[in-house]
A and B are shown apart, each in its own frame.
Chain A
Amino acid sequence: MEKLNGLRCRECGRHYPAAPVHVCEFCFGPLEVDYHYDALKGVVTRESIAAGPPSMWRYRDLLPIEGDAAVGHHVGFTPLIRAKNLADELGCREVWVKNDSVCHPTWSFKDRVVAVAVTKALEFGFDTVACASTGNLANSVAAHAAEGRLKSYIFIPADLEQGKILGTLVYSPTLVAVHGTYDEVNRLCSEIADKYRWAFVNVNFRPYYSEGSKSYGFEIIEQLGWRTPGHIVVPCAGGSLITKIWKAIKELKTLGLLEGPVRTKMHAAQALGCGPIVTMIKNDTDVLVPVRPNTIAKSLAIGNPADGYYAYKTTKESGGSGEHATDEEIIEGMLLLARTEGIFTETAGGVTVAAAKKLIERGVIPRDESIVICVTGNGLKTPDALQDRLQTHAKIKPSLSAFDRALAELKSQTS
């Protein structure tokens, strides 16, 4: 079955053979993987998917790899949880949490994109992978490169705290700290990606890499019994994830795998301190105004998102919307999810919960329609976000009477 049809320019539609390239030589538009959907129809079925492994690779036929997964065999197929307590708190009938805070192996949805990029790098015969990242992406690239026995180069701005890089260094990549302003470091990394024959996951491998995010969307739909939910609230940074979840739904529709019509509205969630996509949605304009990030939601801090325009279009096309969350609301969102569902997400998840809550309160998301909240990363990676907010309730001597007194004290405080 020939499923892949090379690459296609998202702006001018020109076709390119499958290669590690990401920009259209004619219009400088972004390239996207193209598939022979006709060849997939009737071959990819609910049964064929169900017969696959309990990982993202059950959707292998809809991902841009030729052979089998080379790394990350256990990535994905994370829990979709019916969040009854959270629903009660939000005053809603049906709330689900798609929980990639437990994605194997590095606890964020980035494992999905990186597993595809690294597999593709091996297919194209590369021996080195690279990325420039301060967080989740760096963790995932270093881990999957180790598994694939590839060399890896990770670039970071020189002023990044040591604590942030341990979760990357542990996998033995080559870590390069670059001095300079954000703009200088950013442009240098683009030039490095251009010059060296490495698989730079989010640059020359971006068309393949970004397709990995579709698996998050496929799983939501399969786990809902092939029904589309009323609403999906997605945290946005570069704007790729929300675009690809929507693409996943459209592909399942094309293949005739959905129960009933598509009725999903896609909603973008961003921090107020870095929310250029949501600003487009609120102002109803396709013009993205770049911003300087200033938020505790570090993993969503992309000021000039490459897929911002497509993310905006996704919300428009689906009839969805968007909402900002302040730093305070982000923390409240993290605490709310932990308190109601026992899930500790990072700030990005706090952004999504907070944005969903506001969209519900504003009446944009009706309380009687089904809602999926996307939780994409793990709170244990960045505990500092909550450091000042939480404290021990009682400190006592090791005696039963001391505990009795403390307990009485605590009870009197809460009653």
Chain B
Amino acid sequence: MARTRVRLTFPTALIQEPIVYRLVKDFDIVINIRRADVTADHGWMALELEGDEGALERGVKWLRDRGVQVDPLERDVIVP
């Protein structure tokens, strides 16, 4: 089992979709939401994902392909 901590930022168009549900169901990832702010037109979540490494990578890729921004909790680690 591997773990990763990420911050998801949802564009307005995706707010109404069951993204997190699909992540759990289709990728067999256990999620643990620690902090979130989701309203009608924006949303972010700080959460922990747990699953096997391949599943996490595929899950993160799927999120990005859907248009969800996936950042580490620290957000920009690369500093100019």
**Contacts from A to B (Cβ < 8 Å):** 11, 22-23, 26-29, 131-137, 155, 157, 182-183, 185-187, 189-191, 193, 202-203, 206, 237-238, 287, 289-290, 298-306
Contacts and interface: CB of A to CB of B under 8 A. Distances in A.
Contacts of A183: 64, 69-71
Contacts of A133: 78-80
Contact of B80 (A23, A136, A306): A136
Interface in B61-79: 64, 69-79
A189 B77 contact: yes
B25 to A, nearest CB: 23
Contacts of A203: 74, 77
A190 B77 contact: yes
B46 A132 contact: no
6 contacts: A23-B5, A137-B79, A183-B70, A183-B71, A190-B72, A191-B72
Interface string B1-39: 000111001000000000000000000000000110101
B58 interface: no
Given A28-B46, A305-B75, 10 more contacts: A22-B74, A28-B47, A182-B78, A187-B77, A193-B77, A202-B77, A202-B79, A206-B74, A298-B80, A302-B80
Contacts of B80: 133-137, 237, 298-302
A208 to B, nearest CB: 15
Contacts of A302: 76, 79-80
B72 A303 contact: no
A132 B77 contact: yes
Nearest to B48: A28
A300 B73 CA distance: 20
Contacts of B4: 191
B49 to A, nearest CB: 12
Contacts of A27: 34-35, 46
B35 A238 contact: no
Which DSSP category, helix, strand, loop or mixed, fits chain B's interface?
Answer: strand
A337 B42 CA distance: 40
A186 B76 contact: yes
Contacts of B46: 27-28
Contact of B76 (A157, A191, A303): A303
Nearest to B33: A28
A191 B57 CA distance: 13
A-B interface, 6 closest residue pairs, ranked by CB to CB distance from nearest: A190-B72, A28-B34, A28-B46, A189-B77, A304-B75, A132-B78
A186 B71 contact: yes
A318 B72 CA distance: 30
Nearest to A12: B35
Contact of B78 (A157, A191, A290, A300): A157
A306 B70 contact: no
A347 to B, nearest CB: 10
Contacts of B71: 183, 186-187, 290, 304
A26 B5 CA distance: 13
Contacts of B64: 183
Nearest to A141: B79
A195 to B, nearest CB: 11
B48 to A, nearest CB: 8
Nearest to A237: B80
Contacts of A193: 74, 77
A189 B72 CA distance: 9
A283 to B, nearest CB: 12
Contacts of A289: 42
A28 B64 CA distance: 22
Chain A CB count within 10 A is highest, among B72, B73, B78, for B78
